[in-house]
Structure formats: structure tokens, C-alpha cells
Structure 1
Amino acid sequence: MERGLELHHIGVRFGGLTALDDVSLRVPPNRVVGVIGPNGAGKTTLFNVICGFVAPETGSLTLDGRPLRPRPHRLTRLGIARTLQGTGLFAGLSVLENVMTGASHTARAGFVPALLGLPASDRDERRLRQHALDLLDGLGIAAHAEAAPTTLPFAVRQRVALARALAARPRLLLLDEPAGGLGTDDIAELAELIRQLPRRDDDPCAVLLVEHHMDLVMAVCDELVVLDFGRVIAAGTPDEVRDDPAVTDAYLGATVEEVTP
């Protein structure tokens, strides 16, 4: 039975600083879950625990009820992909090649066939290339396939980074502040893309979103988790979180403008 990703009573300390304190949350299949909170709330540490960059001192992680001990280099094989703040694209590769790198773990040919240019490697490359082109087309940026990422507007580079993450065909996509540096129109388009990810006919995936832009969070998330000094102070639907007095006072101001999905 698919239960998705679950964090159980996670605790992380850095010296005398408590970064996460008894944090539990769940990302069910085909849902969008957001994590919000001010700077220093523990959002980045939470992300790093899930990605395997930080080992929790207490608590555990499970994937579909089975113990999960994530390692950064094994995430895609577990069906987990992530985007990075600032896109993290390879400047020396084209847009298409960048996206292809996201699916390289699915290549059936090994290192030697690829090195020697043997037929198995050629077949893999054609398959990965077509998959990458389909993703770029679906995100509306196929015209930039041969361009260098550095020549493109930031909003386009963000879509390239998203395409590269989706190339791995993840069951869970981790989005780390994807709206950073985007304007209002670009954020609205990004919101539409995120909303569609769990509903795609091919390779639907759940999303865990860490983000500061509340208009995006309120528009796309099915559930929200609010952190404050490493602790969960509220969890629920966007409407429930919006109406929580502690959240309103601490993070969102006296009034939160409702965003229509």
C-alpha cells in the first residue's frame, strides 16, 4: 500500500542549537504539501534530512511504511527528485543535455558501452533525448532545447531545472523555493505547473514545497505544515492554516489575501 513519505518525531541539533524538534509530517501520494515558516524556522534543515544531507538525532523516516535512510546519490533510485535554489544547471551543457542528465540513472547501458559508443548506448541516448524533449515541450520551453542555460531568462532556467528533476520520473518531487527571483506573472505560471504534477496522465508525482511566497503556497498546496523555531505549530489545509491565530500573528500578518487556484 502506498503511504508516501512520512517523518516521525524528527529531531536535529547543531551544537547547542535545536534546528528541528519533534517534527512529524506526511506527504501522501499525488498531493502537494507545503512547509512554511520564517527564516530560521528549520525548513532547510527539514529538506536536508529528507535528502540525506543531515542525519536526524532522533526520529525516523519511512517510505510506504518501510524504513528510509536517504542518501543524496540514491534519491532518484528511491523515486525522489529535487530542485535546487538558483537552478543548479550545468553551464557547459545545452538545455536538452541538462534535462537528459536527470534521467541518466534509468539508462540501461553501462559506462563501457557509453564510452565506446556501442549500440546499446546509442539506443539509451535516443530514448533519453526523446523523453527530455517531451518534458521541455510539456513545459513550453522546447524552443530552447539547444540553447545554453546562461543565455536564458531566469524564469526559463527555472523550468529547465524542473524538467531535469521530472526526467527521473519521480514519485515525489522536492521543490526548494522555486519562486525565488520570479515576477508575479511567472509565479502564476509556476503555480499552474505545480498543480498539474499530481494529475499528470504520465508519471504523476507528489510534491513537497518549501516556499516563502504565500500566494504560491496558498494556490497550490493541499496541506500545509508551519514551522516555528524547529517545531510544528500548525498543520492542515491552507484555509485552516490561514485562520489559525498563531500562524496569522507570527507569519502571515493580520490578513492573508486569498489566492484563487
Structure 2
Amino acid sequence: MNLETHITPGRFGGAAGTGAHLLVEGVTVRFGGLTALSEVGFEVPEGQIVGVIGPNGAGKTTLFNVVCGFTTPQDGRLSLDGAPFRPRPHRLTRHGISRSLQGLGLFEGLDVLDNIMTGAGVHARSGFWSGLLALPRADRDDRALRDRAEALADELGLGDHLHAFPSTLPYAVAKRVALARTLVSDPRLVLLDEPAGGLSHDDVQQLAELITSLPGRGCSVMLVEHHVDLVMSVCDSLVVLDFGKVIATGTPAQVRDDPAVAEAYLGAEVPSS
């Protein structure tokens, strides 16, 4: 399904900033006798899009889960904007971080607008007590968040679906709802886990347009993706994993020409175009 979108950089956060700086150093994760990640290190510079690729079982999902706080490494450290960072899934929005997961993860009992609004974790915290006590702040916060969610939905071509429920949506539309939920908190770092999964060629092209607009919104991006053509077209740099180790880093052109990468992934499993 082809969705028309109109991407306006920096629209929702006021004057766009430069994004967050994420640094991963020496991260090692073991599950019993299996080493899923071994001394993995890379960085997501301010305002850049960094892709993480590799064959199945390379450790991409484990690495994503470490950055999101779902998995705690045995060794290594993370820092955000130069300060030590210990991610916790329920506190990511406090740090200006948002994430999307491989699946849609939409709430079937909520319509599109309410699903998008759930992406603003701060709303759930500040609005609960204000709402319970019937404070005016609750109404103001809710209205501001609703306005932001509606504007974002319009921008992503979801304006005609605001009151639809996820089960009634085509998959490509539901994907855009999940992405809108990721952006509604005005994040400085966006973590995307295989956002192109299940999308048609036309939808992937539009996804690429959206991802490349994120630095203009004041976002840095970490993109974990199997769709090699997508990461090659949108990323400033790439990190290549194989058997839990970083085997190459560099620009898309540098990675494409790296013999170790060709042997481990690109040449064998997904021919480069």
C-alpha cells in the first residue's frame, strides 16, 4: 500500500537540535556458555544515522536489547552525551530515547490516535496523578499531547485513520502508526529494529524518506535492519556484526567493499546492488 507523506524536518520539537550521542564500549553478553556479543564497540554520533547489519544470529537483536535495557551485559559500558548510561526500558523517554520493535506492538483496544499518544512516556507519569486529582495541568498536558499526535499523524499520512483500531488497518498503515508512536515524544535518539519488515518496495522507499528526515528533527538514529538496500541508502555509517563480533565499520561504500563483509554477509546472503 502506497502512502503519501509530507515530511517536515524539525516540526515537532521546535528548533531542531543535533541529536544525542551514544557510545557503546566493550559490550559482552553471555547466555550460559554462549557468547552472543564479544567486546562490541561503536558510536552513534550526534545527528547521524548508524546502521547495524549482519547475518542471522550475528547478535543484532541482542545488541539492540542492550541499548534498550532489555539485556544487561556482563562487561562493557554505555554512555549518552558523555555521561554513563544504564538503560531501562521504562525510563528511555526520560533520556530522550524512543524505540520501535520488530513487531507492531500496538494496543488493540486503543484507536490510532491513542496508540500514538502512548509513545509519550512522560504523559503516563505526569498525567496520572494530575488526572486523578482533577488538576488543570492534566487537561493541558493531554491537549498538548493530543495536538502533537494529531499533527504527526497527518504528516505521516494517518489523518484518515485516527479513530480506527489496529486490527482494521493494512499492515503498512499499522507500521506507520508504530513509527508515529516512536516519534511523538520528540526524541533525541531513535532506535529502530527492522522497520522495513513486511513492507512493499514503495513503502520501503517512503520509510527511507522518513528515516533520512530524522536528523533534521534533532534525532540521532540507530537502525538495525535486514534490508541491505535500505541501510545502504539512508545510513551515514554502518556497523557489521558476525558471530557477536564487530567485523567492519565505515561508510556504506567502505563496508560494501570490505572482503570480510562480503564473505560474512553481503556477498553470500544478500547481493549488493
- The reply on whether 1:256 has 2:269 as its aligned counterpart is no
Higher relative contact order (CA 8 A, sep 6+): 2
- The reply on whether 1:154 has 2:168 as its aligned counterpart is no
Instruction: Count how many residue pairs are aligned between Structure 1 and Structure 2.
Output: 254
Deviation at 1:47, TM superposition (A): 0.6
Q: Give, in whole Å, the separation in 1 of the partners of 2:234 and 2:19.
A: 22
- The reply on whether 1:138 has 2:132 as its aligned counterpart is no
Deviation at 1:113, TM superposition (A): 2.9
Deviation at 1:84, TM superposition (A): 1.2
Aligned residue identity for 2:222: L
Secondary structure, in 3 states, of the residue corresponding to 2:180? Answer: helix
- 1:84-140: CA deviations, max 9, x gaps? 112101010010001111124147854233135443211111111000011111212
Gaps of 5+ in 2: 1-17
The 3 A distance-change label for structure 1 pair 236 and 194 is same
Deviation at 1:250, TM superposition (A): 1.8
Deviation at 1:149, TM superposition (A): 1.4
Partner of residue 12, structure 2: none
Q: Give, in whole Å, the separation in 1 of the partners of 2:188 and 2:52.
A: 18
Deviation at 1:2, TM superposition (A): 7.8
TM-score after normalising by structure 2: 0.89
CA contact (8 A) 1:3 1:65 kept: no
Aligned-residue CA RMSD in angstroms?
Answer: 1.7
Partner of residue 52, structure 1: 69
Deviation at 1:252, TM superposition (A): 1.0
Farther off after superposition, 117-126 or 38-47: 117-126
Partner of residue 222, structure 2: 208
Q: Give, in whole Å, the separation in 1 of the partners of 2:130 and 2:84.
A: 35
CA contact (8 A) 1:52 1:72 kept: yes
TM-score after normalising by structure 1: 0.93
The 3 A distance-change label for structure 1 pair 185 and 110 is closer
Gaps of 5+ in 1: none
CA contact (8 A) 2:99 2:190 kept: yes
Aligned residue identity for 2:272: V
Q: Give, in whole Å, the separation in 2 of the partners of 1:170 and 1:176.
A: 16
Partner of residue 42, structure 2: 25
Q: Give, in whole Å, the separation in 1 of the partners of 2:184 and 2:235.
A: 22
Map 1:1-261; keep pairs closer than 5 Å.
4-106=21-123, 109-115=126-132, 117-200=134-217, 204-253=218-267, 255-257=271-273
The 3 A distance-change label for structure 1 pair 117 and 40 is same
Q: Give, in whole Å, the separation in 1 of the partners of 2:76 and 2:30.
A: 12
